[in-house]
Structure 1
Amino acid sequence: MCPVPDVFGEIDPPQRLLMGPGPVNAHPRVLRAMSADLLGQFDPEMTGYMNETMALYRGVFMTGNRWTFLVDGTARAGIEAALVSLVEPGATVLVVRAGRFGLLLQEIVERVGGRVETVDAEWGQVVSMEAIAEAARRVRPAVIACVHGDTSTTMAQPLDGLGAVAREVGALAYVDATATIGGMAVDTDGWGADVVTGGLQKCLGGPSGSAPITISDRAADFIFSRRHVEKGIATDDLDEGPGRRIGSNYFDLAMVMDYWGEKRLNHHTEATTMLYGARECARIMLEEGLETRFARHASAGRAITAGLRAMGLVVFGDDACRMTNVTGVWIPEGVNGEAIRRRMREDFEIEIGTAFGPLAGRIWRIGAMGYNARKHKVLITLGALEAVLRAEGFAVPAGAGVDAALEAWG
């Protein structure tokens, strides 16, 4: 017999300030909302909360799309649901690659049987819309897929004109906005994007586990054309056609939309607690106001960049297309990057991020997102980094980072 373990203690995590690329500290209002009582998934109060959540996220996504709701799962669940539902086996997908998460889109497309074509930029740069348009005209994709803000590089991909390019070649346009939603303008209708997905754990100031999504009528018509009807659940007589059925049950957006829509067809049991949290994330954002919120994140990013440079550090990437909410900085020669991160965590209870791929061990990533995109949290982080760098033998002008950040905040 397996021994019965002693009862573990109550979870009591340290009060750490999460200033990396995500997750970040959740807003206290979100945590309070998530402590509310559970409801049955078809309780009128529950379906009312679902309808309210859809309405709130139309404002967050800056869209009038009817089909705006939540996919239960982390941000990657939303990404996968979008691509599984948009990409038919054998279809050509143009993937914009300029970092780790463009590579993720490529991997998912390949797994669902799509044929990938790419248009690329070096890490730290972005792809011009002219280059995207040229590639789209050449390969005539069914879907154009891109990442708005790639936290692996801290760059924000310009997306004005994306929808026009997609419509010119008869494609659907998908955007992963996980890292920017709630902190930068995710202008779904302005971009002309057909599907946009996000997550709560960054600028929206919630926990990971719910993926907001918005879908245009054009994309919804395509998704419904592939709809699979579970036996005994619905009676629609649909001709799926060979190979057209969406190759997932859980991530079949047509079925999820039947659940969120007027039909209320059972698909899964809605993650009640996550819905409460997602709803509160959106309420907080819209109460603050989009422009005020975007300006706050821009001030935080500007202050971090100024503070890092005043300490004699070199900021990574192109200033012209930098995300406002995550900043990359080169690790100085001779400095142990992991030792700095460890001392930040152990001495100051502050987490900053490491990096991936070709940037692994070469840059730190410092985020100021959602509840953490506030002046005092930025200043505390820069002051701690200065102290730790000096302790590790790197010469830093005393107080320069904090002073520069204060001046740059505006």
Structure 2
Amino acid sequence: MGEIWIKEAERLGGGSIGGAMDSPGAPGRVVWHTTESGHGDASFTNVGKYLTSVASEPHILYDPTTDRLGQYGPLNQSARALKNDGVTRTNRTGKVCIQVEVLARAATPFTGYWKPGPNFKALMRAIRSWGVPDSWPAGGCAPGAPRNRTTWATKGGHYGHCHVPGNDHWDPGAIDTSAILKAAPGTGTVSGGSSSPSVSRATVTINGLKYGYGATGAHVTAVGKALVTQGCSAYVEGPGPTWTDADTKSYQKWQIKCGYSGSDADGVPGETSLKKLMGTLPGLAGSGPATKPASTVAVPTVDLSNLIAAARRDPGLKQGGTTHPADVKVVEAALKAEGLLSATYAADGSFGSTTVTAYAAWQRKCGYTGSAADGIPGKASLEKLGAKRGFKVKA
């Protein structure tokens, strides 16, 4: 699963603007709009409020001159900036349909004067996290651009509002489409053609179960959770039931940890590394020697009393000193996956002051304050972390 909320973006509106996607199996895409307004902070505020007042919110509002970034709603749900194409709800087409309103006018292409900065890179990072290719399948955005229903329905990538069937606007104007991609280099091409990701998109079937890009099922989630437990996470959100580039990158970390290199560490599972990760080879009934399906693969269990003892004792020990390292390592891996603990401290098994600080951040993320967010694990916060990151709690 990709990024749902961009951490660098300001929150705009009420936080919910749409609903579930109609065609989650279709490729993800981005639609670029212009607000037909000026730019600057005053416009950001006024246009931002206006879009809410007329129920036409995109996901993203972006100022190309100040790099200011705002987000109205979660990227995995629909926005409200497009017209329907007959019975087709264009706002809900694809795995994601991320809509970006740029504070600019179509008649004066913003790529001619913009100043993209770290927030624009954060936006592109989030877009790519959903597997949206660095391509413009409908071509450029000059007036008269085609609105091809087949292209829109079947091809992922970047579109202008001018490309969307059933819509009559011609924004964002004749922008330099390659400049959008070059301003935040990623893993794909920067042309109007197809993407060429540096991570493998190969797939493999082991014991009747498919692994690799696009594979789906409970077994994919189980592998992702096991990777997180092993401290091999490249996830921003997740893991989930659909294999994405984040799963491939995470599995590559596991392969490297197992001693593989080169083409043997491409992020696509092999039988040996998969069995080592899962303890057995998950498989469909009757598909081979494996007998334990992925949905029943055991998950680790941590002892709450051990963690409390470690959180109280380890900070006073010599650097790296441990009390209950097995339990602590599971929690460290989960905190790392949440982006709260650096890799330096994420596998030492010591619930030292850095881990206490990270756990306090998790407690605050759960809504706790004051003494309830002191970094000492409690049952509710630990169970919530376990439910999200794949471990059980013995209280």
Same fold (TM over 0.5): no
Query: Which is richer in helix?
Result: 1
TM-score relative to the length of structure 1:
0.26
Higher relative contact order (CA 8 A, sep 6+): 1
TM-score relative to the length of structure 2:
0.27
